[in-house]
Every structure is written in C-alpha cells, then in structure tokens.
Structure 1
Amino acid sequence: MSGGWLDGYAVLITGGGSGIGRAVAERFLAEGASVTVLGRDADQLDDVVRGAADPSRVHPVTADVRDSDALHRAVAETVDRFGKLDTLVANAGVWDYQRQLTRLGAKELDTAFDEIFSINVKGYLLAAEAAWPELVKTRGSIVMTLSNASFYVNGGGPLYTASKHACLGLMRELAYELAPKVRVNGVACGGMNTDLRGPESLSLDGRSIGASFAKRGPDTPPPPIPLHDSSTDPRDFTGPYVLLAARDQSGPITGHAISVDGGIGVRGFGSAAGGDHL
C-alpha cells in the first residue's frame, strides 16, 4: 500500500489481537503502516498476521501490558523490525460489566480495583514509558483508547469509570510533559461489539461485551443516544485513530480526546435526541 495517511509509519498497538485494537491494526495496515500487535493471546495475534495482505508488515508480540520488561522488548523489536517507532496506540483494557458499588464486597472491590487499574491505567503508563524515547526521535505520537466513561457516568461501574477518567487525565498530563516532541491524544469510544473482557478477579474474564450486543433483537428499542443507528462495529471507530496518528493531518493537535460515541455529549434530559420529531 502506498499513498495512505500512514504510509511508511511504524506502530505499536497494545491489545492488538481483538476488538478495537485489531480493527485499528487492520486500518493502519490499509493506510500503509507496519504494525506490531501486542496481546496476551498468541492465537489471536497469529490470526492478525494471517489476515494481513502483507504479513511482513505485522509483528506479533505475546505479552501482558503489566510487564514493563515485555513492553520495552516490544518497542525494541518494533525498531529492529521496522527501523523506528512513529506511534504508540495504548489500547489494552478490561471492563467491569457495570458492577455497581452496592454489588461489590470489600474483598472483591480490593482485588478488582488493583486488576482494573493495573491494566487500564498502569498498562498505558508503562507502555508510554517504554515508547517515549523512540517517539521523541521520530516526533511521533501516542493515541490512547479512552471511553465515553472518561467523561460520563454509567458506561461502567465505579471501577471502570474511575479508570477511564484516570486515563483522560494521564493523556492530558503526558501531552504536556512530552511536548513539543511527542503528541498525545485519545479516542473516546462509545459502546461497540467487541471481545472486551471482564476482570479475572470478578470471574468475568470468560465473558465479552459482545454478548450483550448479541442479545439485541429486531424489536429492541434504539440505544438512548442521539445517533440511534450509531454503529457498534469497531471498524467504524478507527478513523480518528488514523487522523491523530498522521502528523500531516493533525500536527497541531495534542492533549485532545475525540469522542466517537453517537452524540452522548449532546443528549438532552427529556429524550435522547432533540430532533426525534423531525
């Protein structure tokens, strides 16, 4: 591929084996990038390689984002394989299935907090720590997967919501600390049909958020967002990642989160969409 917005870029994506991470990896490949996909499931990563039009532009790394040494190894392997690192997409995460405080015992709260924050927040921070020296060399960027739960409540329970609010603050702080050499932005996604899992500490690691979308039948009311027919396909959320990674398209942008959530930020009190009568 030549002529794409990311032609010649080298990218590292955490959580790149499934869900939005895989969708971003496939979109970046289509835009001309070479991509290292990092995740815990080797079979998923191998499937990404097999599905690529040019497998030589995909490098799989089986690792956990809580392992700093593994993240440093992934950065080094990316540079060794592709010559540089232009973009880090910090993406790996878990969801708490909206488990409310009143449905969490003290021990569950203690262990689930540590697991969710170590993946959703520390995983981003450790990835940024591993990548920033190489990103300085290329005047590259970091793109973080945020969430509507980075701004609004009830996109998860208190643990997930707090973790995603923390990621928003982390994105803004790193945008300041790494300027002017490295841009740091985020994509705040709405709900989508993915393989996003729950925490092991709550015995939810065997479920995926996609199961809740699969239960929606033809008679199910539209979701309470202004864009009632907003897509839940992760591939339809990838455009902002391309925009923020491409320095020629978003060079002056840093510390910004693009919301891709069907318009939750303009949802009215009386109804989801003010224009239902149109």
Structure 2
Amino acid sequence: MLLNRRVVVTGAGSGIGKAIVKRFLKEGACVLAVVRKPEQVEEFASHKDFSFVVGDVNDYSTNELAVTSAIKKWGGLDVMIANAGVWDFFKKLQKMSVTELEDGFSQIMSTNVKAVLMAAHASYSELNKTNGCLITTGSNACFRPGGGGPLYTASKYALRGIVGQLALDFAPNVRVCGVAPGATDTPISGTDALNQRQKSMNSDRSRLDSMGQHIPLGRVSSPEEHTDLYVMLASANGARYITGTVLVSDGGLTAGQ
C-alpha cells in the first residue's frame, strides 16, 4: 500500500516509531527516521530505502533537516509522521514542586505539542505540493483522563485540537490525522524536569499488567498492533476522505465515550 511513498517519522528510535519504520519499509515506502542516536536504527542501515537524521524534535532545525533531507534523497515528501512523545508516569499535580510544575509543563508541552507544530510547519509546503498527509501519534489520553497525569493529559488533549485545526487550515491538499494508541509495551520515557528521563514505561512489568486489567481486550498492546492504522492513513488511496480525526487503537478502553 505504500510503494514509493516518501515518509519522515520522528521518534523513530524505539517503540511505536520504530515499529512504524519497520512496517513502512516492508510496505515499500522510503523512510527517513528522526532519532537521538544512530545506533537506535542500525538494523535498518542496509535497507536501500532507509535514511535517518540525528537530532532533537524540540529544535525546529531538526524538523527542517528531516524534511530537506527527504526531499534531497527522494525528490519530495508525501507523509510526515510526528510520533515523538514523552510521558509523565501519572505524576500528580499535588505531588509536584512549583519548579517541577513549571519546567515539567514546558518540557512535556514542547515535545508533545510544539514539536508537532514544528513538524507540521516544516513539512507543509512539500506536503501541499504532493497532496500528502500529516499523521500525529496521540493517546487514549486525547479523549479521557487516566492515561497519565495532568501534564500529559493536557498535552494530548491539545494535540487532538491541533489535528482538527490543522485539518481545516491545510485543506484541501493536505490531510491531517492522528492515531491514538492505548497502553502499549514501549520504553517511552519522561522528562528531566520530573526526574523521569531514565525511566521507561515497560521497565515495570507490574505496571503494564495493571494497565491491561482495565482494558476490555485484557492486555496492553504491542507497538506493531497500531501500525495498520498508520499504513492506511499514509497510503495514497486508503484514506482519501479521512482528515481532521484521531483514530483510536486502545483495545476498547474508550468504548462508549
């Protein structure tokens, strides 16, 4: 479905981002990954349709470099996937110091919200030329509380609004959509401000087991289980009339809401 589609994926070094890279290459896409460390994508280095840039999505220059590199390598860009994100490990507001609140808000909003806007800004001109699409990675926290603490939830509600607004602003040539995974077995980390940079979601297996008990399907997902939606949204013909929406992939957690 993705033969020769030219794609940039941020946050591609692990978890859902890495699963997207692997699946898209299998589907025939040309993929440029944005990672923090080259060794995160060593397994794809020999693939003829793979490339990467190293940088921080919180810097506009990284987003711009990813787009210009894809254009230089493949002559254009069809899909921008703004996937990078950080979590807050359910950190409660009343448990934060004032400094943690101020700096934690800034860092989480930067990665989960501002970086998406920067990716959109950097890619819009090229996507407009190719009738391409922007896809963001949201969360069940886009729709309901309980997927994290207040900082994470605020960032994901904001992301849902961005998808809707950019769909209006970028129409008719660029579609804007999101995928909202539920609890997923990934090493997503936190922020320096909340002293969570070295933590990862799936390092605590009891936490994942507890999450799974609240999901109708009875378990957390693997990153690979979300990639079908990204493939559909990124394809040239599979989602031609879908824009402005966030598709939920959460094992039924938000059912009925």
The TM-score range, normalised by the shorter chain, is over 0.9
Q: C-alpha displacement at 1:216, in angstroms? A: 5.8
Structure 1 residue corresponding to 2:239, chosen from 239, 250, 269 = 250
Cα distance change of structure 1 residues 94 and 215 upon mapping to structure 2, 3 Å threshold: closer
Structure 1 residue corresponding to 2:214, chosen from 209, 212, 224 = 224
Task: Give a deviation string over 1:139-159, Cα, whole Å, max 9, x none.
Answer: 000110010000010100000
Higher relative contact order, chain-length normalized (CA < 8 Å, sep 6+):
2
Letter of the 1:38 counterpart: V
Partner of 1:49: 44
Task: Give a deviation string over 1:195-239, Cα, whole Å, max 9, x none.
Answer: 10111111111111111336667xx7951122114x521011110
Partner of 2:58: 66
Q: C-alpha displacement at 1:24, in angstroms? A: 0.6
Partner of 1:25: 21
Task: Give a deviation string over 1:115-162, Cα, whole Å, max 9, x none.
Answer: 000111000000110001010111000110010000010100000000
Letter of the 2:233 counterpart: L
Q: Which runs of no fewer than 5 residues in structure 2 stay unpaired?
A: none
Letter of the 1:13 counterpart: V
Letter of the 1:12 counterpart: V
Q: Is the 8 A contact 1:176 1:255 kept in 2?
A: yes
Q: Percent identity?
A: 39
Return the alpha-carbon distance in structure 2 between the equivalents of residues 161 and 6 of structure 1. Answer: 32
Q: C-alpha displacement at 1:43, in angstroms? A: 1.6
Q: Is the 8 A contact 1:7 1:33 kept in 2?
A: yes
Q: C-alpha displacement at 1:6, in angstroms? A: 0.4
Report the number of matched residues.
257
Cα distance change of structure 1 residues 206 and 254 upon mapping to structure 2, 3 Å threshold: same
Letter of the 1:49 counterpart: F
Letter of the 1:80 counterpart: K
Letter of the 1:223 counterpart: Q
Letter of the 2:167 counterpart: A
Matched, 1:40 2:36: yes
Partner of 1:273: none
Letter of the 1:249 counterpart: G
Provide the secondary structure at the position in 2 that maps to 1:264.
coil
Q: Which runs of no fewer than 5 residues in structure 1 stay unpaired?
A: 269-278
Return the alpha-carbon distance in structure 2 between the equivalents of residues 213 and 74 of structure 1. Answer: 34
Return the alpha-carbon distance in structure 2 between the equivalents of residues 75 and 216 of structure 1. Answer: 35
Cα distance change of structure 1 residues 16 and 127 upon mapping to structure 2, 3 Å threshold: same
Q: C-alpha displacement at 1:49, in angstroms? A: 2.2
Return the alpha-carbon distance in structure 1 between the equivalents of residues 164 and 26 of structure 2. Answer: 29
Q: Report the TM-score when normalising by structure 2.
A: 0.95
The correspondence of residues 62-101 of structure 1 with structure 2, limited to 5 A, is 62-101=54-93
Of residues 152-161 and 194-203 in structure 1, the stretch that sits farther from structure 2 once superposed is 194-203
Matched, 1:201 2:193: yes
Provide the secondary structure at the position in 2 that maps to 1:250.
coil
Q: C-alpha displacement at 1:70, in angstroms? A: 2.1
Q: Report the TM-score when normalising by structure 1.
A: 0.88
Q: C-alpha displacement at 1:105, in angstroms? A: 1.0
Provide the secondary structure at the position in 2 that maps to 1:201.
coil
Return the alpha-carbon distance in structure 2 between the equivalents of residues 200 and 221 of structure 1. Answer: 24
Cα distance change of structure 1 residues 222 and 80 upon mapping to structure 2, 3 Å threshold: closer
Return the alpha-carbon distance in structure 2 between the equivalents of residues 241 and 184 of structure 1. Answer: 12
Cα distance change of structure 1 residues 142 and 48 upon mapping to structure 2, 3 Å threshold: farther
Matched, 1:146 2:138: yes
Q: Is the 8 A contact 1:98 1:155 kept in 2?
A: yes
Matched, 1:14 2:10: yes
Q: Is the 8 A contact 1:193 1:213 kept in 2?
A: no
Query: CA RMSD for the aligned pairs?
Result: 1.7
Cα distance change of structure 1 residues 227 and 65 upon mapping to structure 2, 3 Å threshold: same
Cα distance change of structure 1 residues 216 and 264 upon mapping to structure 2, 3 Å threshold: closer
Provide the secondary structure at the position in 1 that maps to 2:67.
helix
